[in-house]
Amino acid sequence: MPDDKSLSEVHSTVSIPESRGFLRRLFAFAGPAYLVSVGYMDPGNWATDIAAGSRYGYALIWVLLMSNLMAVLLQSLSARLGLVSGRDLAQACRDQYPLAVNAALWVLCEVAIAACDLAEVLGSAIGLQLLFGLPLMYGVLVTALDTFLILFLHQAGIRKMEAFILVLVATIGACFLLEIFLSRPDLPGIARGFLPSLPDRDALYYAIGILGATVMPHNLYLHSALVQSRSVVKTAEGIHQSLKYNTIDSVVALNIAFFINAAILVMSAAVFFRSGHTEIASIQEAHKLLAPLVGSGVAPVLFAVALICAGQSSTITGTLAGQIVMEGFVNIRLRPWLRRLLTRAMAIVPTVAPGLVSCSSFATAVASAESEPGASVRGRSCFARPKSSTLAWPRLVTKMFAGLRSRWTMPLACAAASASAIGTATSSRSLGANRPRSRNTASSDLPSISSIAMNGVPGDSGCSGPSECSSPGWTSPIS
């Protein structure tokens, strides 16, 4: 059926040259794996890589390598499914399973994509905060604008989207090449890191964290759909050739993702582990220490730029994956703008709504502002500008978002706050129960983007965390 094609708006839109030239045909097939690869270098990976590097040096690089090999295998199988059967993974499940099972799988996939997208949205917001001093809540709202970017790129064609993602990936790679050059890592130590070993008992938890952050299940659905954007001749020879070129594409793209993840861990080991800072617990802390430890003001700027590129590229592919599972499992086909808006809202609303509700009461804040301007500062701590940032804070952006604190946002926030807050708190408690505790400090827990959401960003309200901000006026940016 014409309307049953995966990603029908870009299905079979890329022609394959008839020429037998290897490079020309490889270039025509290259692209889908690069869109998939950004899911393996999203901000969720940064926290685990930084923590593992600062705690154990180069010892856990082998975990990244094993994770990458697993990813190459799974993504290659996913691409084969799409090329040979002409169905993406979600459609193949719909063909084989009853309606109830497909509906349950669809819901689980949407929840998983929203959870991954949550980390990516927060990662982009943190990058904007580190680079421009943009308050975290505003940064989250700014990331919603990528919905329009996706619409524009889709209308321009899948090749334009692939080129845009490739530019972002190249930017991330270039930033970390410079970071490694500035940090001057120990090359023999890096080589020893490829030998499987666990320095202590807690290293197992770090290894599991790296594995869990690297393997992204929704990328399997995405890859099986994206490979169908190529107009492949449906003959035995044509399919065989497409499988060969797509395997090469997957190996190259995912090894670039491995290099970037390894570069993050190597940079962390060379800068933090070598200097004795073995308890780096957040992306903000790593960014703050880069300049004094590396001895260059360029390092934190490169770090923030790479974080923004990683967050934005992975949110784009996450939105595409949401479209694929919706159409594949339950055959719900919406208008492109509505479909992407719904997918983006699944990540934005749970991120913003609890923070809006926790910023005291908007009515109280507005009333205080009208009577005494300085009295509303604490009530709006989640919108406060950090004390320091890499670049100057543009006042124009403040004016653009001034209306977001008005009274009409309160009903929208309350509508989504209860379920999202309970879910976030429950997942945080379950994660905390399984993590090892350091004998000296709690900061040795495996860091994650969700910990930023629960505990806030140090410096937003003049204190370093909830333990020092026990007064009723302190509020987490997202809690």
Gap between the Cα atoms of 233 and 226, Å rounded: 16
479 domain-assigned: no
Q: Which pLDDT value is given to residue 119?
A: 81
Least confident among 44-53, 201-210, 362-371: 362-371
Structure tokens at 238: 């044509």
Q: Is the pLDDT of residue 329 over 50?
A: yes
Mean pLDDT for 145-163 is 79
How many CB atoms sit inside 10 A of residue 389's CB?
18
Please state the φ and ψ torsions of residue 171, each to the nearest 5 degrees.
-65, -45
pLDDT: is 148 or 367 the higher one? 148
Q: Could you write out the three-class secondary structure of the chain?
A: CHHHCCCCCCCCCEECCCCCCHHHHHHHHCCHHHHHHHHHCCHHHHHHHHHHHHHHCCCCHHHHHHHHHHHHHHHHHHHHHHHHHCCCHHHHHHHHCCHHHHHHHHHHHHHHHHHHHHHHHHHHHHHHHHHHCCCHHHHHHHHCCHHHHHHHHHHHCHHHHHHHHHHHHHHHHHHHHHHHHHHCCCHHHHHHCCCCCCCCCCHHHHHHHHHHHHCCCHHHHHHHHHHHHEECCCCHHHHHHHHHHHHHHHHHHHHHHHHHHHHHHHHHHHHHHHHCCCCCCCHHHHHHHHHHHHCCCHHHHHHHHHHHHHHHHHHHHHHHHHHHHHHHHHCCCCCHHHHHHHHHHHHHHHHHHHHHHHCCCHHHHHHHHHHCHHHHCHHHHHHCCCCCCCCCCCHHHHHHCHHHHCCCHHHHHHHHHHHHHHHHHHHHHHHHHCCCCCCCCHHHCCCCHHHHHHHCCCCCCCCCCHHHCCCCCCCCCCC
Whole-number percent of the chain with pLDDT over 90:
35
Q: Which pLDDT value is given to residue 450?
A: 39
Residue appearing with tokens 């994660």: 431
First to last CA, the chain: 46
Contacts of the segment 145-148: beta carbons below 8 A, 24+ positions apart: 146/312, 146/315, 146/316, 146/319, 146/344, 147/319, 147/337, 147/340, 147/341, 147/344
pLDDT: is 224 or 356 the higher one? 224
475 domain-assigned: no
Q: Is the pLDDT of residue 139 over 80?
A: yes
Please state the φ and ψ torsions of residue 30, each to the nearest 5 degrees.
-70, 140
What is the number of structural domains in the chain?
1
Query: Quick check: 433 and 103 in contact, CB under 8 A?
Result: no
Burial (CB count <10 Å: 0-12, 13-18, 19+), residue 363:
exposed
51 domain-assigned: yes
Mean pLDDT for 347-356 is 67
Q: Which pLDDT value is given to residue 77?
A: 93
Output the average pLDDT for the chain: 75
Sign for the CA dihedral angle at 250, 253, 259, 265 comes to negative
Please state the φ and ψ torsions of residue 278, each to the nearest 5 degrees.
-95, 5
Residue appearing with tokens 């910990």: 451
Gap between the Cα atoms of 211 and 213, Å rounded: 6
Which CATH number goes with the domain that contains 110?
A: 1.20.1740
Summarize pLDDT for 209-263 with one digit per residue, the tens: 888 877 778 889 999 999 999 988 888 888 998 999 999 999 999 999 999 999 9
| Residues pairing with 14 in the sheet | 230
Q: Which pLDDT value is given to residue 426?
A: 37
478 domain-assigned: no
Gap between the Cα atoms of 257 and 263, Å rounded: 10
pLDDT confidence band for 413 (50 / 70 / 90): very low
pLDDT confidence band for 351 (50 / 70 / 90): low
Gap between the Cα atoms of 209 and 274, Å rounded: 22
Q: Which pLDDT value is given to residue 479?
A: 34
Q: Which pLDDT value is given to residue 456?
A: 44
pLDDT: is 26 or 425 the higher one? 26
Mean pLDDT for 372-381 is 42
Summarize pLDDT for 197-212 with one digit per residue, the tens: 999 999 999 999 888 8
How far from chain centre, in Å, is Cα 172? 13
Query: Quick check: 323 and 106 in contact, CB under 8 A?
Result: no
Whole-number percent of the chain with pLDDT over 70:
71
Nearest to 128 by CA among 311, 288, 292: 311
Q: Which pLDDT value is given to residue 357?
A: 57
Q: Which pLDDT value is given to residue 5?
A: 80
Summarize pLDDT for 333-343 with one digit per residue, the tens: 877 677 777 77
pTM metric for this prediction: 0.73
Mean pLDDT for 15-20 is 78
> Which residue range forms the structural domain that includes residue 150?
2-468
Sign for the CA dihedral angle at 94, 98, 101, 106 comes to positive
Summarize pLDDT for 73-89 with one digit per residue, the tens: 999 999 999 999 989 99
473 domain-assigned: no
Structure tokens at 391: 């670049």
Q: Which pLDDT value is given to residue 104?
A: 93
pLDDT: is 388 or 153 the higher one? 153
Gap between the Cα atoms of 206 and 202, Å rounded: 7
Q: Which pLDDT value is given to residue 386?
A: 53
342 domain-assigned: yes
Q: Which pLDDT value is given to residue 476?
A: 38
Least confident among 55-64, 78-87, 131-140, 238-247: 131-140
Q: Which pLDDT value is given to residue 178?
A: 93
pLDDT confidence band for 187 (50 / 70 / 90): very high
Query: Quick check: 239 and 155 in contact, CB under 8 A?
Result: no
Q: Is the pLDDT of residue 345 over 60?
A: yes
- The four Cα atoms 268, 272, 276, 277 give a dihedral, to 10 degrees, of -100
Nearest to 47 by CA among 455, 456, 457, 447: 447
Gap between the Cα atoms of 49 and 38, Å rounded: 15
Gap between the Cα atoms of 68 and 473, Å rounded: 45
474 domain-assigned: no
